[in-house]
Amino acid sequence: MSVLPHHLVATSLSSSTSNFFAQNSFDVVRTQVVSAPFRKMGVCKCVATSPTEQTAYKTQVSRNGNIAKLQAGYLFPEIGRRKAAHMLKHPDAQVISLGIGDTTEPIPEVITSAMAKRALALSTVEGYSGYGAEQGEKQLRARLASTFYGNLGIEEDDIFVSDGAKSDISRLQVCVLFGSNVTMAVQDPSYPAYVDSSVIMGQTGQFQKDVEKFGKIEYMKCTPENDFFPDLSKVSRTDIIFFCSPNNPTGSAASREQLIQLVKFAKDNGSIIIYDSAYAMYVSGDTPKSIFEIPGAKEVAIETASFSKYAGFTGVRLGWTVVPKELKYSDGFPVAKDFNRIVCTGFNGASNIAQAGGLACLSPEGLEIIVDTFTSLGFKVYGGKHAPYVWVHFPGQSSWDVFSEILEKTHVVTTPGSGFGPAGEGFVRVSAFGHRDNVLEACRRFKELYK
């Protein structure tokens, strides 16, 4: 199943002081000749430079010092590295991956056949298309607007099609956060890309090891005690507020009342919310799916979304970002104009084939099939209600220790909560993505371990 992402590598471990970046696993790999599907060279470089490197030619170009602030590799490649090391150590173990939130179930055929059709059409004169609009194909933008924002006053031209929310988060960073003293807040815990991309852009201070936070970021604690919604009365004003709901990793979805508070908070402070609705389709009941369901949100929020979890498009790469016309900088300039500029300069549109797939997802047939797939996932197995993640509490324990123990003893890969922020310490995230049999088997093993 899992071919490790080609970009998997262990990076910058020399800058990490954590004990977790296991000398053990490193040693295991080093002593064996392996053909693991990850960058062997990368693993071997995770130590102080060798004598050869020290005498090698160097350019006189300064490194981007911001990258050095990052404590380790991006979280998920690191998990992948550990998983690979584990598999080498236990070649006969049936490892089950409930770590990275990667979808596993095949994409319905009505969608893949649309992509195949588009691909083959590229071999015909009539069907060939070259550069597309960087903002996305008109038909797809229109269909996104009507499907998800029909009665919310969001129009086709407010929508920018992307190759996935992850890329757009960085483009938004460049747009609204780059090159100035713009401040940001994130939920704690939260999806690591918000913080990491911000560090790279130079928006943060150094990592403060005692509190496990980067300087200059406002961390909004989300815990069982506050029902996983930050106490806004204790949150300092920042220019930008990243807010993901339903939440990765906690699985919690903000209620209408909570989002009304959030919008008011942003309005009072003149802030911009970047609302990540990647898991909106997992919401049930009256829980809002879009920030734009809240009156006034169009003047304070950007919403980013993705086909990844919606249609299994994690590898196909398709998403979108909504920047309403009403959203303006302090000088009255529309944010959408600058975002459009970024998109035109640093991007060249999502793949036309992926966009054809997206269109098929939003056809009546596509929508029906996708809804059925979700309800059949049956979260009752875990109790994950509004998101495909289960956030499990291990009070008083280090989440990397729990991760390691679960991996060692049950051969199940999870994700340590501290990877999502300091308030994730003591928790482990278990992803609900997986073949039903694997998920049931993993549950069985957990019960064995913890009975």
Partner 1 sequence: MSMFSTCNFIPHTILLQSRASLATPNERLATVRCTKVVRNVNLEKLRHNYLLGIGDTTEPIPDIITSNMAEALRKAIAESFYKGLGVKDAEVFVSDGSQCDISRLQAGDFLDETLKYQNIEYMTCGPHNNFFPELSTTSRTDIIFFCSPNNPTGHAASREQLTQLVEFARKNGSIIVYDSAYSVYITDGSPRSIYEIPGARECAIEISSFSKIAGFTGVRLGWTVVPDELYYANKVPVINDFDRIVCTCFNGASSIAQAGGLACLSPDGFKAVMSVVEYYMENAKILVETFSSLGLVVYGGVNAPYVWVHFPGSRSWDIFSEILKKAHIITVPGSGFGPGGEGYIRVTAFGQRENILEASKRLRTIYLS
Binding residues for partner 1, how many (CB under 8 A)? 112
Per CB under 8 A, 322 contacts partner 1: no
Nearer to partner 1, 74 or 214 (CB): 74
Question: 410 Cβ partners below 8 Å, 6+ apart?
Answer: 442, 445, 446, 448, 449
Minimum CB separation of residue 208 from partner 1 in Å reads 19
Minimum CB separation of residue 215 from partner 1 in Å reads 15
Per CB under 8 A, 216 contacts partner 1: no
Residue 133 structure tokens: 């609009």
Is the distance from CB of 3 to CB of 37 less than 8 angstroms? Answer: yes
* Amino acid sitting at position 429: R
Minimum CB separation of residue 9 from partner 1 in Å reads 5
Q: Which of 312, 349, 358, 434 binds partner 1 (CB under 8 A)?
A: 349
Q: Which of 2, 4, 5, 232 binds partner 1 (CB under 8 A)?
A: 5
**24: number of Cβ within 10 Å:** 12
Give CA–CA dist 183/203, Å, rounded. Answer: 7
Per CB under 8 A, 334 contacts partner 1: yes
* Amino acid sitting at position 374: F
Q: Which of residues 99-128 bind partner 1 (CB under 8 A)?
A: 115, 119-120, 122-125, 127-128
Per CB under 8 A, 40 contacts partner 1: yes
Nearer to partner 1, 122 or 449 (CB): 122
Minimum CB separation of residue 276 from partner 1 in Å reads 14
Per CB under 8 A, 1 contacts partner 1: no
Give CA–CA dist 311/371, Å, rounded. Answer: 10
Q: Which of 34, 110, 139, 166 binds partner 1 (CB under 8 A)?
A: 166
DSSP 149-190: HTTTT--GGGEEEES-HHHHHHHHIIIIITTS---EEEEES-
Q: Which of residues 261-280 bind partner 1 (CB under 8 A)?
A: 266, 269-272
Give CA–CA dist 1/26, Å, rounded. Answer: 24
Segment near partner 1 (CB under 8 A); pick from 206-214, 247-255, 320-328, 399-407: 320-328
Per CB under 8 A, 2 contacts partner 1: no
Per CB under 8 A, 176 contacts partner 1: yes
Q: Which of residues 41-70 bind partner 1 (CB under 8 A)?
A: 41-42, 45, 49, 53-54, 56-68, 70
Taking residues 284 to 313 in sequence order and writing x for each that binds partner 1 by CB under 8 A, - otherwise, the string is ---------------xx-------------
Q: Which of residues 245-264 bind partner 1 (CB under 8 A)?
A: none
Is the distance from CB of 284 to CB of 253 less than 8 angstroms? Answer: no
Per CB under 8 A, 350 contacts partner 1: yes
Nearer to partner 1, 155 or 441 (CB): 155
Question: 432 Cβ partners below 8 Å, 6+ apart?
Answer: 98, 377, 379, 381, 382, 384, 388, 389, 390, 439
Per CB under 8 A, 74 contacts partner 1: yes
Give CA–CA dist 237/294, Å, rounded. Answer: 20
3-class secondary structure, 124: coil
* Element housing 240 (H / E): strand 240-244
